[in-house]
Structure 1
Amino acid sequence: MTVTIRFARPDDVPTILGFVRELAAFEKEPEAVVATEALLHEALFGAHPAAEALIAEIDGVRVGMAVFYHTFSTWTGVRGIWLDDLYITPDARGAGAGSALLRELAGVAVDRGCARFEWWVLDWNTPAVELYRRIGAEAMEEWTVQRVSGGALTKLAGR
């Protein structure tokens, strides 16, 4: 069994959307996915890409993905990488694809001169949290996520 990691291609978009839907179901929010193939294609491969994706394959079969984008820190003065979604199909979990994606992303961050590689994890996702601790990730306990969306976003914008 051979795990390989590669950058996504346009023909991967249907698979990526399928993985996004599976991840949302795993995270108990299947109805939250409103992305379409067209939206993902534009976000990943359009004139001004908003994100990038890596694909994990085992023996040539797509089994996972990592979708990421650049952030910026005024404190460091350089970019970072934000991992938006990491997903491995249930049958492939434990085969090393998740760790391989994280290693590849760390390499991308180092190669691009990034100061940080960050992501969120649900506190109840114990297997993921354990993997992240094994690779040296630290929980940022003192920080909390803040979000404005939907009607609150429109109201804040004064629209």
Structure 2
Amino acid sequence: MIQALAEYEKLSHSVTGNPDALGEHLFGNRPYAEAIVAQWQDKIVGFALFFLNYSTFLTKPGIYLEDLFVLPPYRRQGIAKAMLSYLGQLAVARDLGRLEWSVLDWNQSAISFYQQMGATVLPDWRICRVTGEALNNLATINSEESLL
């Protein structure tokens, strides 16, 4: 499913993870994320992977939806809508402040869907990301004055 998502997003070259790590991060002693799956006639046809974040403005935790994906043949059947609604129910039940996620700017069908579901697409925000060698370099800045 993750590879299918990466292909849809034109990001296949970015997938470097492995199933064992994913299993550990979802089901290990210290889970970092949660996931829900959508089934159609005993076949997994979609998933949502999410984790907690925190809003200093709301002073409440929230849910960050990392991925929401439904296989192409199963789209437009209410599956993504049901998963997003479930995450909304989960946020309300857990007394969380918000549910948020990112969407690729070229994915107009997803943007329209999210807006129909009540989401506001924030035009003034950009994602900042540090990975790989850049992350290692960042970790060494002022390392002699470590704050940890």
Compute the TM-score of the two structures, normalised by the length of structure 1. 0.85
Q: Relative contact order (alpha carbons < 8 A, sep ≥ 6): 1 or 2 greater?
A: 1
Distance 2:130 2:50 in 1: 21
2:87 pairs with 105, 108, 113, which one? Answer: 105
Q: Which residue of 1 aligns with 2:4?
A: 22
1:145 pairs with 122, 127, 131, which one? Answer: 127
Unaligned runs of 5+ in 2: 144-148
SS at match of 1:95: coil
Distance 2:3 2:134 in 1: 25
Q: Is 1:50 the equivalent of 2:46?
A: no
Q: Which residue of 1 aligns with 2:58?
A: 76
What is the identity, as a one-letter code, of the residue corresponding to 2:7?
Answer: A
Distance 2:64 2:28 in 1: 20
What is the identity, as a one-letter code, of the residue corresponding to 1:111?
Answer: A
1:65 pairs with 36, 40, 47, which one? Answer: 47
Q: Percent identity?
A: 39
Q: Deviations over 1:80-113 (max 9, x none)?
A: 0000000100110011101000000000111111
Q: CA deviation at 1:21?
A: 0.6
1:91 pairs with 73, 90, 98, which one? Answer: 73
The runs of 4+ residues in structure 1 deviating greater than 6 Å are: none
The alignment yields a C-alpha RMSD, in angstroms, of 1.1
Distance 2:135 2:42 in 1: 43
Distance 2:131 2:42 in 1: 39
What is the identity, as a one-letter code, of the residue corresponding to 2:54?
Answer: F
Q: CA deviation at 1:121?
A: 0.4
Distance 2:69 2:16 in 1: 18
What is the identity, as a one-letter code, of the residue corresponding to 1:122?
Answer: L
Larger C-alpha radius of gyration, 1 or 2?
2
The count of aligned residue pairs is 141
Q: Which residue of 2 aligns with 1:130?
A: 112
What is the identity, as a one-letter code, of the residue corresponding to 1:152?
Answer: A
Unaligned runs of 5+ in 1: 1-18
Q: CA deviation at 1:129?
A: 0.8
Compute the TM-score of the two structures, normalised by the length of structure 2. 0.91
